[in-house]
Amino acid sequence: MTISTVPPDRNSSLSSMRYDPRFQVETRSDDFDLTSGLRLIRRRTVMIVAIVALLMAAAAAAISGLKPTFHAESRLIIHTPLATTLGTEDSGRNDPLNVTSETERLLSRSIAERVIRDLRLDEWPEFNPALQKTSLIDEIRAILRGLVDREKPSSSVRNSIEPIIPEYYKALRVWRDGQGDVIQIGFDASDPELAASVPNRLISIYLEERKDSLRGRLDAAEKWILQRIAEQQNRAKAARDAADEYQETMDLVSNDDAQVEPVKSIMELGERRTKIEQSRAEARATISALEAGDDASLALQNIAIPDSIGAMQRELRVQEQDLERLLETYGNTAEAVVDFRARILKSRTDLSLAVDRYLQSIRAKLATLDQEDDAVRSALAAAHEKRSRSALAQTELVRLQRMADKEQTALEKLEEQRRGLAGQAMLPGAELEVLSPAAVPLAPQGRGRLFYLAGALLASISIAVTAAFVVEMLDKTVRSFDQVAGMSRIIPAGFIPRLKRKDRGNPSTLFGRMQDGMFDEAIRNVLISLKQSNGGKLPNSILVTSAHSGEGKSLVARSLAIELAANGSPVLLVDGDLRRGNLDSLFKSELKQGLNEFLSGLAGLKDIIHHHPSGIDFIPAGNPSLHRHAHSSDAADIIEMARARGQIVIFDSAPVLASLDTMHLAAVAERTLVVAKWGRTSRRALEFCLQQLKSSQNSELCVTINNVNPKKHANYNFSDSELFSRSLMKYHDFQT
């Protein structure tokens, strides 16, 4: 497209379709369905293919190095010997064989060493690491290990069996078949005959070692039990001798008559002491009764008395009765009454004398009973003591005899165990029934290399697609206006597709023949957005900036200038990046001075303007060493001068987040256009950039997304993805 020579009215309406978020559909970028997944795979095809290629290269190298492996198995059952199960007596045998324990025995280190030596597994490279070829990875690992560990392995370690043991166990499998008693032994090897020889040889070595182990255990047990029997015999003899010696020393008789006689004597003495106690009690009662009463006749009425005293008492009672009759007949003063009273007094005196003599005899009897009681008590205590000593001695004798019997019982049990061991030595340790010996396998195990390659391909594709999804989830860059639709005071200014690298800085392409494709339409769309946001007319001053450098703001600024100049609008393009401005390389002006010199006061405004043949006036950045901060008044002077000349000023400023000069320019510019690079500018940086600009400018901010990859953008699920559909790209014949 050539530059037009007829300048149209810059305030006239430009009719062109553009993206407007007010009319977007309800589809959101984070909605996921089958179509979205297919689109993701399409836009990440290069990444997926690269990951699949890398993984398949590694898998192919590993699969090509696989060697055929042959697997042989033997199945067997280990029984407890039949003679043991038929035994009716407990002859001291161990518990029945445990299948799990026997499985561990088959995996023992001693059996492994014998199998390795008998079958010479150390001569096979697959089991001996020293015979294997060292790979590059192993060499690097050895070098790194040598840097950490300076000690070199000794020759004894290199020539030992230790490195072969782990490889042997990797190839060997011994397991129990379910909950039954069947044990399976499998072995993997590159040689089929070796794969079959190892299980068969392992079974034979197992039987030999179990027989030797059982023989050794029986010999040790027999030696130990014979020693125990000798010790027990000495203890039993010592216990019997102690019991016999004690019986002779204590003169004990074990018959029942010797035990009955002491008991009989104690009973007789007890009966005798009881009678003495009764007699003593009666005597004390008689004495107490006689001593307690004043009238002897009354006291004698309550106790047993001799006949003579009884007769005297009866005679006294008769006389007292006769006295009462005389008193009734003759009175108290009669001579017969007085004589009778004298007779009664004499009878009472005689009775008292007789009672005293009886009392003295009772007391003498009580003293005799006391002496007899002391003698019986002493005899009874002696009998009890004798009986106690005899009982203790008899108890001790019984204890010694029981100890002797216990030692004899223990001796008999040891003898029984010895006989059981002698019988066990005649039996085999285990009965082995081989259900199926290991046969030489005819074909290697596993599947072919093609199967593994197909599996590796499927796994690689899965990993690659997963990685693509993860990368897509971690992508926080700006790719659509749907992602910034929530920001206020934002006007979407459309998408700008990417140009070929050779066309971005080619003056002949930009100034002589603008491309008539989607890029031109995008630049026109930006101008329409700027015009509509400014009340239907193009703004007098436009600030083009971005959040970071390298996002294409300079390309957009000069493309806007070229488009306006092509339509006949006078344009003044100002390189506002005072530190890293490079627009001069495009216009190739011969000016030695620029905006830096103007701000420093070293040059006037007219001295720094370059007039390009395309109709664009250009102000370069100038010498960056004279960098001065731009002020609003300086920018206002440039805008005022351009307005007087009827020009539209376009400032290509520094990034917002890099320099505060952009904030001063935004304060005086009529419109600000923020450029975000598709797939590079982060949403966080863009949001922060817009917040900074809003603080300096009250008007709405226009945002355009630059360097869009149309083919990839069309594969997204955004509502604006249709702007780069395949039919539109064919229509414009657009190629990146």
**Model confidence over 38-51: pLDDT tens digits?**
888 888 888 999 99
Give me the number of domains the chain comprises.
3
**Judgement on whether residues 408 and 458 belong to the same structural domain of the protein:** no
**Judgement on whether residues 407 and 283 belong to the same structural domain of the protein:** yes
**Judgement on whether residues 374 and 310 belong to the same structural domain of the protein:** yes
Distances (CA, A) of 94 to 84, 122, 219, 691: 10, 38, 15, 87
Q: Does residue 567 lie within any of the structural domains?
A: yes
**Judgement on whether residues 542 and 456 belong to the same structural domain of the protein:** no
**Judgement on whether residues 413 and 282 belong to the same structural domain of the protein:** yes
**Judgement on whether residues 394 and 454 belong to the same structural domain of the protein:** no
pLDDT at 693: 86
Residue found under tokens 């100890």: 403
pLDDT at 505: 56
Nearest of 542, 627, 634 to residue 578 by alpha carbon? 627
Q: Does residue 717 lie within any of the structural domains?
A: yes
Q: Does residue 106 lie within any of the structural domains?
A: no
Where is mean pLDDT largest: 69-78, 303-312, 504-513? Answer: 69-78
Length of the chain: 736
Amino acid identity for residue 515 in this structure: Q
> Can you give the residue range of the structural domain that contains 469?
41-66+447-473
- pLDDT interval class at 245 (50, 70, 90): confident
Query: To the nearest whole percent, how much of the chain has pLDDT over 70?
Result: 82
Contact indicator for 489, 697 with CB cutoff of 8 Å: no
Whole-angstrom distance, CA of residue 131 vs CA of residue 645: 90
**Judgement on whether residues 466 and 374 belong to the same structural domain of the protein:** no
**Judgement on whether residues 414 and 541 belong to the same structural domain of the protein:** no
Q: Does residue 105 lie within any of the structural domains?
A: no
**Judgement on whether residues 713 and 596 belong to the same structural domain of the protein:** yes
**Judgement on whether residues 564 and 690 belong to the same structural domain of the protein:** yes
Dihedral sign computed on CA atoms, order 120, 126, 127, 133? positive
Would you say residue 612 has pLDDT above 60?
Answer: yes
Q: Does residue 514 lie within any of the structural domains?
A: no
Would you say residue 297 has pLDDT above 70?
Answer: no
**Judgement on whether residues 548 and 636 belong to the same structural domain of the protein:** yes
Nearest of 736, 672, 673 to residue 707 by alpha carbon? 736
Q: Does residue 75 lie within any of the structural domains?
A: no
- pLDDT interval class at 732 (50, 70, 90): low
Q: Does residue 26 lie within any of the structural domains?
A: no
Q: How confident is the prediction for the chain on average, in pLDDT?
A: 79
What mean pLDDT is predicted for residues 261-279?
A: 82
Q: Does residue 158 lie within any of the structural domains?
A: no
Nearest of 244, 231, 230 to residue 401 by alpha carbon? 244
Which of these ranges, 60-69, 423-432, 507-516, has the smallest mean pLDDT? 507-516
What tokens were used for 679? 């797939």
Where is mean pLDDT largest: 7-11, 61-65, 148-152, 468-472? Answer: 468-472
Residue found under tokens 């290991």: 438
Contact indicator for 537, 589 with CB cutoff of 8 Å: no
Q: Which of 424, 459, 481 lies at the terminal end of a domain, its last residue?
A: 424
pLDDT at 33: 66
Which has more confidence, 1 or 59? 59
CATH code, 648: 3.40.50.300
- pLDDT interval class at 153 (50, 70, 90): low
**Judgement on whether residues 388 and 456 belong to the same structural domain of the protein:** no
Whole-angstrom distance, CA of residue 575 vs CA of residue 554: 9
